């Protein structure tokens, strides 16, 4: 009897140690994937970032178009009428955004909310903002929570951001009650725009969505990255990390689903993806396109990597975007 009790105690102790180790590992995964301050301290994150940059397509035409776009954007920014604004979320975080106005006397009611990607910042979207400005749009480009100048606890993967960005829409409508608004996002920003499109509270002023390199849901994206970049299986760590995120950050990775949102939206959506995207599989945009309930188009561009369609085929990219938006009421 004594030996049996002894082994039972050892088993319980071992199980407790393993459980605590599992919980710790799940929390570490959340920290290194969704808290920028932790991410920036890790050599592994630097290595992954470097690998990611190397994975982008670097053909001569892409590099030349990028350089031309940078010069054009720099010239536009020097003369642009802009203002730095902020809003406060329901959970008390200050978010920062830059608004670009049309010259006085020429402003219409066309607006776009531009949304950056995972670990990105608003300035990354300025080349696209430049092209929108030339088409007569007024533009709002926020740093989403935990990014750039905005506060936050965890990167929202589009899910917490979908509600944060409703505040920016309210700000646009305060400035222009007749605004006709497009949502245009890249990568995580594209997934966020799609998640916003499924919200009942979304203003009717939003007329269309441009989703460039969107993922279907955050859980599948992290499973892919764990497998391909960290060489780890998703199970058993990812389910536990998703649960820890729910307890600590208020949402789970499975909740952050653009796929579920597009099944509910009536908004027209333009999906864009490069065929050489190694971050977000092009098949995800195809899956989203098939699931979308409203009017929809899809543009797949050969030879473009992650969020590189505007650099591979700029005239096709912007021509398709502005034709789509005009066709759906943003004139």
pLDDT in tens, 185-230: 999 999 999 999 999 999 999 999 999 999 999 999 999 999 988 8
Rounded to the nearest 5 degrees, what angle is found at the Cα of 329, between the Cα atoms of 327 and 331?
90
Q: What percentage of residues in the chain have a pLDDT greater than 70? A: 97
With 60 as the cut, is the pLDDT of residue 132 above it?
yes
Residue closest to 260 by CA, chosen among 210, 201, 194:
194
With 80 as the cut, is the pLDDT of residue 6 above it?
no
CB count in 10 Å sphere of residue 222:
23
User: Whole-angstrom Cα distance, residue 251 to residue 157?
Assistant: 10
Laid out side by side, the sheet with 269-274 consists of 81-88, 94-101, 138-142, 110-115, 180-186, 206-212, 269-274, 296-301
**259 close to 219: Cβ distance less than 8 angstroms:** no
With 70 as the cut, is the pLDDT of residue 80 above it?
yes
- Determine the average pLDDT of the residues in 71-76: 98
Predicted confidence at residue 2, as pLDDT, reads 67
Q: What percentage of residues in the chain have a pLDDT greater than 90? A: 86
Residue with tokens 């929108």: 132
**217 close to 259: Cβ distance less than 8 angstroms:** yes
**73 close to 79: Cβ distance less than 8 angstroms:** no
Predicted confidence at residue 1, as pLDDT, reads 54
**278 close to 287: Cβ distance less than 8 angstroms:** no
**302 close to 275: Cβ distance less than 8 angstroms:** yes
**134 close to 115: Cβ distance less than 8 angstroms:** no
- Residue 82 β-bridge partners: 100
With 90 as the cut, is the pLDDT of residue 321 above it?
yes
> Tokens representing 313?
């085929």
User: Whole-angstrom Cα distance, residue 213 to residue 304?
Assistant: 11
């Amino acid at each position: 009897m004594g030996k049996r009790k002894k082994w039972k105690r050892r088993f319980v102790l071992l199980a407790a140690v393993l459980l605590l180790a599992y919980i710790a590992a799940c929390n570490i995964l959340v920290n290194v994937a969704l808290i920028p301050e932790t991410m920036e301290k890790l050599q592994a994150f630097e290595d992954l970032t470097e690998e990611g940059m190397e994975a982008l397509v670097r053909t001569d035409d892409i590099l030349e178009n990028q350089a031309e776009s940078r010069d054009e954007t720099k010239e536009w920014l020097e003369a642009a009428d802009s203002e730095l604004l902020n809003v406060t979320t329901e959970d008390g975080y200050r978010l920062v955004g830059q608004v670009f106005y049309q010259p006085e006397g020429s402003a219409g009611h066309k607006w776009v909310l531009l949304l950056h990607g995972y670990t990105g910042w608003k300035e990354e979207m300025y080349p696209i903002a430049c092209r929108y400005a030339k088409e007569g749009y007024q533009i709002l480009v926020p740093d989403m929570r935990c990014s750039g100048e905005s506060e936050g606890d965890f990167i929202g993967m589009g899910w917490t951001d979908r509600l944060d960005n409703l505040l920016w829409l309210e700000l646009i409508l305060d400035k222009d009650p007749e605004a006709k608004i497009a949502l245009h996002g890249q990568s995580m920003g594209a997934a966020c725009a799609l998640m916003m499109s499924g919200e009942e509270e979304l203003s009717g002023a939003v007329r269309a969505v441009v989703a460039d390199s969107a993922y279907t849901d955050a859980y599948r994206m992290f499973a892919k990255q764990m497998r391909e970049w960290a060489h780890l299986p998703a199970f058993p760590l990812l389910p536990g990390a998703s649960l820890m995120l729910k307890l600590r950050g208020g949402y789970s990775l499975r909740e952050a689903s653009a796929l579920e949102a597009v099944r509910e939206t009536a908004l027209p959506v333009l999906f864009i993806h490069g065929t050489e995207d190694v971050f977000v599989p092009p098949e995800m945009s195809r899956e989203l396109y098939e699931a979308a309930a409203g009017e929809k188009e899809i543009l797949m561009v050969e030879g473009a990597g992650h969020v590189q369609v505007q650099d591979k085929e700029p005239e096709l990219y912007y021509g398709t975007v502005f034709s789509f938006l005009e066709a759906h009421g943003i004139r």
